[in-house]
Structure 1
Amino acid sequence: MMTQTNLAKLPVIVAVMMIATAAHASGAKRPAPRFEKAECAVKVMPGERIECGVLYVPENRRKTRSRTISLPVMIFRSTAATPAADPVVYLPGGPGLSSIDGRTTGKGNPFLMERDLILLEGRGNAFARPSLACPDINVLRAQNADPARQTEAVARCRAALVASGVDLDGYTSAEAADDLDALRRLLGIRQWNLIGFSYGTRLAQTVLQRHPEGLRSVVLDSVLPIDVNYDETAASSLRRAIDALLAACANDPACDTRYPDLHARFATLVADADRSGVAAPDRMLRGRDIVEAVGAGLQQPAIIPTLPRIISEAADGRLAGLLPLTRQTPSSFNWGLRLSIWCGEEMPFETSLRMAAQTAPALDLGGVDNRTATPEMCAAWRVSPADAKANQPVKSDVPVLILAGEFDPVTPPAWGRRLLRTMPNARFVQIPGQSHGAMFNRCGGQMTLAFLHDPGAPLSGDCIAKLPGTVFGLDAGTAAPAMK
C-alpha cells in the first residue's frame, strides 16, 4: 500500500497525478445501466420469434462504488401484423420466483395476439448473476423443520453470499422497480403495461410509486398491498378462506345434505389430530398437517369443489382424498432474495406479538405457520430496513384492473378492494370459485385482454355473470381418488 511517506519521495508531478486520479476515482459515477443482446438464458423452441439479452445494472444504486450485476431478458414478439406499441411485462409471485424459468415458447400465449411480451429476470433470482439461492432453506421449509434449524440455515446462507461479494442491501423492490424502468428506457419504449401476480403486485405498486410516467396500464392479480403487514394476518387469511368454503357448502342444499355440520366436523378433525394424531400410512398427521392440506386444496380451483368430501371422509378416518394434498416438496423460491426483500420491507413494520398470534390455538388451525419469515430469521439475515415509503399505500391515476379469487387463502379479496381508496382509476373484480391467481381461467383471461386492449373502456362483466361458481353437487356422488 502506498503511504504518505512514500508519496513524499516521488517526484512532485507524479504525486499530483496520483492525487488527482484518486480524487477522480472517489467521485466517479457508477456505470450506467445498459442492455446487450445475447443468447437466451433458457432453452427456447427453435423457429420462434423470441429475442433475448442481458440488462446490466448497479447492484446497489445507493452506493457509488457498487458493482454491476446481470439480469436476463426475454422478448416474445407479437403475432399481430401491426403490434401495439406498448408491450406487456409479467411480474411473477414470490418474492423469489423466476420470471423466465420454463418460458420456452410463446405458442398459445394470448397476449401475443396484440402486443409483445417482455420478461425481466429479477435481481437475485435463478438466472440472474449473482443468484441468491439458499437451497438448504427450501428443504427445511418443506420439512416444517424446527425454527432454530431454519434460522441456522439462514445465517449460513448469508455468510456464504456475503463472502462471495454480494451486497444483500441491493435486493429490494425499489431496486427491482428501477431495473424495470431502466430496461423500458433502454429498449426505447414510451409506455408499457404491467401484469403483477401475488408479490408481483407489490412490485407493480412500487413501479407505480416510482415510475408512473412509463405505465399505460397495470393488472394486479391477487393483491398484496404495500401497506398490509402480511405476517400479522397470514393464518387469518387462511382461516377466512376455509370459513368461506365451509359456509358455501352449508348454503348449498346438495352439499349441506351430504356433508352436514361440516364446520364442526372440521374443527373436531383438527383438534383430534392435535390431541392424539391421525394415523397415515407413513406418518402421524397433526392438526397443522390437516389445515395445510386443505389450504393446498384451496389454491387449486379444480380441487375446491371436492374439499367438502375430502374433509368429511377424513373426519370418518378415510384419508385417500386428503393425503395427496399433504405431500410437500421443496419450493422453487429463491430464499436469499426472498429474505432480503421481506426482512427489509415487511419485518421492520410488523409487530412481533401480532405475528406470534398467527400461530395461536385460538385460530383453531393446529398452529399452522403461514408467515413468510420469522423475526429470528430476519435477525440472522441482517439487511437494512426500508424507509417508511415502503409501507405506505400507493396513490396513482394510472388505469388499474384488480382481480381477486373468492377462496384465495393467501391474499384475500378485501386486500384488492383496499387499493380502490387511493387509485381512482382502478376497477375491482372478484371471480367466483377461483383462488390465488384469479386471472388464470377463461373469464379472468378475457377480462385481462379486454382491459389491455382499452384500459379506459367500460369493463364487461358478462363472463362473471355466467359463471356457476363452485358447484359442490357435481362432486357429491364421486368416489375418492385413488392413492398414487
Structure 2
Amino acid sequence: MNNKLISGQVHYTVSFFVCALLLAIPGLHFAGAETPAQRETLELTPCHLTTPGFAMRIKAECGAVQVPENWADPSGRQISLHVALIRSNSKKVEPDPVFFFAGGPGQAATESYLPVSHGFMLINQKRDIVLIDQRGTGQSNPLRCPLPKDFSLLTDMTEEQEKQWLQDCLSSLAGDPTQYTTAAAVRDFDRVRELLGYEQINIYGVSYGTRVALTYLRLFPDRIRSIILDGVLPQDISLGPNVAEAAQRAIDLIFARCQADPACNKSLPDLPAAFSKIQQDLRRSPQILEIPHPRSGEPLQVRFTYDMFAQMVRLLSYSAETAALLPLLVHNAAQSGDYRILVSQSVLIGDNFSTMIYSGLHHCVACAEDYPFWSEKPKRDSQNLYLGDLIEHGLTRVCQIWPRGDVASDFKQAVTSDVPVLLLSGELDPITPPAYGEHAAKTLSRSLHIVVPGHGHNVLSRGCIPKLATTFIETADVTTLETECVSAIEPMPFFISNAGPEP
C-alpha cells in the first residue's frame, strides 16, 4: 500500500472553488435489456466549446447519445446527452482517453472544462479528452430553476415565496427529478464509453465529480485504468452540517496568513476584529444600498443581508486569487462602513453562480444523496462559525419539497479498490479539506495523496501538478511520481491596497 501524504511547506492560506454541497454515491444494479440507444452509433461533427465570461474557444467534435431517463425502464422516455471529444494531435494516440467529470453538482462538463483546460494540455498531447454534460446540465436535458422576474439574485424571498418558486420550477421541468442521480449519470457515461469504442478509460473528477468518479469505480471497476480525484468528497461523508466548519477553517487560515506576512499585517491589522464588526453590523440591520450593476452599469438597489455577505466570503475563499482580495475587502468595509464594494462582489458572484450551476440537477442530487444521510446535528456553537446554520437551513427547505431518487444500500460505504488513484487537495480548501482526501485514500490501496500548499479547491493547474498528473496518467503508477516540486508551489500574494500586492 502506497498511501503517502505530501503537504510541503505550511503556507497558512485558504482555498478555492466549488459549488458543490454533495457527496455519496449509489451502487445501483441495472437492467441488461437492449435499448434503442444500444443500437445507435455516436456520430461526431466539428464544433467549438465556449463558456460565458471566456473569450477562448476550443475545437472539438460533438454529438448526441440517446439514453433512457429511467435505466430500469429502457423502453420508456429517452433523453439526449451532449458529448464533446477533444482529440489529441499526436501521431500515436493512446487508446485510453481521459473522461472529465465536472463539479457542482450541477455543472456541465462542456462549459466548466474551458477555465481549467490549461491543466490538461500535457495530457491531451497523447490522449483524447471526453466531456459529457451530465443529465440535467448543459445540453443534456437541462434542469434549471430561474428566479422569478420580480426577484434579483440577491433579493430575499420569504419562505412561502421560496416554496412557491420551487413548486413552480418542479412543474416546469422536462423530466422526472427522481431519475437524475449520480448512479444514473454514471450509467450514461459508460454507455458513451461503449459507443466511442474505448475498452478502458482514465477519469479526472473535480469536487462533486470525485463522487461521480468513485461511483464509476464502484459500478464498473474493470473499465477504469486510473483516476485523478481533485477536491475529494469521500463516499461515506455527507456534506451539509460540516460545511460551516470547513469554511471557518479556511477564513481563519486566510487571516492567519495575512498576520504572518509583514506587509499584509501592517496594512490590514486585526482582521478577525474587522470581520466581527461587519458581522455585528449586518446581523443588526441589513444595508439598503444602490450600486451600478458591476456588468451593465444599470442602477441596482440591493438589500444587503448578513447571509449574502457570508456566502460571498465562502465563495471568494475557494481560490488563492480571490482569497488574496478578502482581507482588503474586509478591512476597508469595516474601516469605512461602506459596503458597496462588498455588494458589487456579491452581485458578481450571484450572476456567475446562476449561469454556472443547473440548480434543478443540484437539488436532485443533494436531496437524494446527502440530505437523507445527515446524522444527528453536531454539537457546536453556530455563532462561532460565520456560516452558522445557513447551509443546512437552505438545503432543508429545498429538500422538504424536492422529490428524491432512490440510492443503493451501499451508498454510504467507502469505495475499496486497487485501481491507481492520485488524490489532490488544496491545503486551504474551504469545502473539501485535505482530511477528506486522507480519509478516502484509506481504502484505495494504490493511491497517493498530494496536498498543495497555500491553495484551495481545484488544484490541477497549480505549479507542477499538471506535469505530475500527466506522468501519472502515462504510467498509472503513483510510486514513480517525483513530488518534491509540490513544496515550491506558492499562492497569490495578498492585495494590501487597491493597487494590488506589495511590489
Deviation of 1:201 (Å) = 0.8
Q: Secondary structure at the match of 1:442?
A: coil
Alignment of 1:134 with 2:140, yes or no, is no
Is the contact between residue 246 and residue 431 of structure 2 (CA under 8 Å) also seen in structure 1? yes
Map Cα deviations across residues 47-72 of structure 1 (whole Å, 9 max, x no partner).
98733322222211123542222212
Alignment of 1:292 with 2:314, yes or no, is no
Matches within 5 A, 1:345-356: 345-351=369-375, 353=377
Residue 183 to residue 362, structure 1, CA distance change in 2 (3 Å): same
Alignment of 1:315 with 2:325, yes or no, is no
Residue 373 to residue 78, structure 1, CA distance change in 2 (3 Å): farther
Aligned mate of 1:391, from 402, 405, 412: 412
Identical amino acids, percent of aligned pairs: 29
Q: Which is further off, 198-207 or 54-63?
A: 54-63
Residue 367 to residue 113, structure 1, CA distance change in 2 (3 Å): same
Q: Secondary structure at the match of 1:313?
A: helix
Is the contact between residue 73 and residue 121 of structure 1 (CA under 8 Å) also seen in structure 2? yes
Is the contact between residue 270 and residue 286 of structure 1 (CA under 8 Å) also seen in structure 2? no
Q: Number of paired residues?
A: 445
Question: 1 CA distance for matches of 2:60 and 2:371?
Answer: 39
Deviation of 1:349 (Å) = 0.9
Is the contact between residue 270 and residue 288 of structure 1 (CA under 8 Å) also seen in structure 2? no
Match of 1:429 in 2: 450
Q: Secondary structure at the match of 2:111?
A: coil
Alignment of 1:325 with 2:336, yes or no, is no
Q: Secondary structure at the match of 1:62?
A: coil
Question: 1 CA distance for matches of 2:341 and 2:144?
Answer: 34
Alignment of 1:189 with 2:198, yes or no, is yes
Q: Secondary structure at the match of 2:191?
A: helix
Q: Which is further off, 103-112 or 93-102?
A: 103-112
Q: Which is further off, 189-198 or 224-233?
A: 224-233
Indicate the RMSD between aligned Cα atoms, in angstroms. Answer: 3.3
Unaligned runs of 5+ in 2: 1-31, 292-301
Alignment of 1:459 with 2:454, yes or no, is no
Match of 2:41 in 1: 35
Question: 1 CA distance for matches of 2:172 and 2:288?
Answer: 41
Is the contact between residue 74 and residue 119 of structure 1 (CA under 8 Å) also seen in structure 2? yes
Residue 107 to residue 229, structure 1, CA distance change in 2 (3 Å): closer
Deviation of 1:361 (Å) = 4.6
Match of 2:65 in 1: 55
Alignment of 1:219 with 2:228, yes or no, is yes
Q: Secondary structure at the match of 1:348?
A: helix
Residue identity opposite 2:325 in structure 1: T
Is the contact between residue 179 and residue 405 of structure 2 (CA under 8 Å) also seen in structure 1? no
- TM-score, normalised by the number of residues in structure 2: 0.79
Alignment of 1:114 with 2:126, yes or no, is yes
Map Cα deviations across residues 430-473 of structure 1 (whole Å, 9 max, x no partner).
1122222111333332322222122314222233222234544x
Deviation of 1:326 (Å) = 2.1
Is the contact between residue 408 and residue 434 of structure 1 (CA under 8 Å) also seen in structure 2? yes
Question: 1 CA distance for matches of 2:196 and 2:500?
Answer: 53
Is the contact between residue 36 and residue 75 of structure 2 (CA under 8 Å) also seen in structure 1? no
Unaligned runs of 5+ in 1: 1-26
Residue 150 to residue 439, structure 1, CA distance change in 2 (3 Å): farther
Map Cα deviations across residues 98-130 of structure 1 (whole Å, 9 max, x no partner).
1223879999650321211111121122211x3
Q: Secondary structure at the match of 2:390?
A: coil
Match of 1:340 in 2: 364
Question: 1 CA distance for matches of 2:452 and 2:117?
Answer: 26
Question: 2 CA distance for matches of 1:350 and 1:428?
Answer: 27
Alignment of 1:306 with 2:325, yes or no, is yes
Match of 2:86 in 1: 76
Deviation of 1:331 (Å) = 3.7
Match of 1:382 in 2: 403
Residue 115 to residue 29, structure 1, CA distance change in 2 (3 Å): closer
Deviation of 1:300 (Å) = 3.3
Match of 2:171 in 1: 159
Deviation of 1:146 (Å) = 3.2
Residue 371 to residue 141, structure 1, CA distance change in 2 (3 Å): farther
Deviation of 1:43 (Å) = 6.5
Deviation of 1:148 (Å) = 3.4
Question: 2 CA distance for matches of 1:460 and 1:345?
Answer: 37
Match of 1:23 in 2: none
Q: Secondary structure at the match of 2:147?
A: helix
Match of 2:249 in 1: 240
Deviation of 1:181 (Å) = 1.6
Alignment of 1:228 with 2:257, yes or no, is no
Question: 2 CA distance for matches of 1:106 and 1:276?
Answer: 40
Q: Secondary structure at the match of 1:89?
A: strand
Is the contact between residue 42 and residue 101 of structure 1 (CA under 8 Å) also seen in structure 2? no
Alignment of 1:419 with 2:440, yes or no, is yes
Residue 144 to residue 434, structure 1, CA distance change in 2 (3 Å): farther
Residue 243 to residue 83, structure 1, CA distance change in 2 (3 Å): same
Question: 1 CA distance for matches of 2:391 and 2:403?
Answer: 22
Match of 1:264 in 2: 273
Deviation of 1:321 (Å) = 5.5
Is the contact between residue 296 and residue 325 of structure 1 (CA under 8 Å) also seen in structure 2? no
Map Cα deviations across residues 369-428 of structure 1 (whole Å, 9 max, x no partner).
235952332232222341332222111111111111223222222212211111121211
Question: 2 CA distance for matches of 1:143 and 1:62?
Answer: 41
Residue 434 to residue 148, structure 1, CA distance change in 2 (3 Å): farther
Question: 2 CA distance for matches of 1:478 and 1:158?
Answer: 45
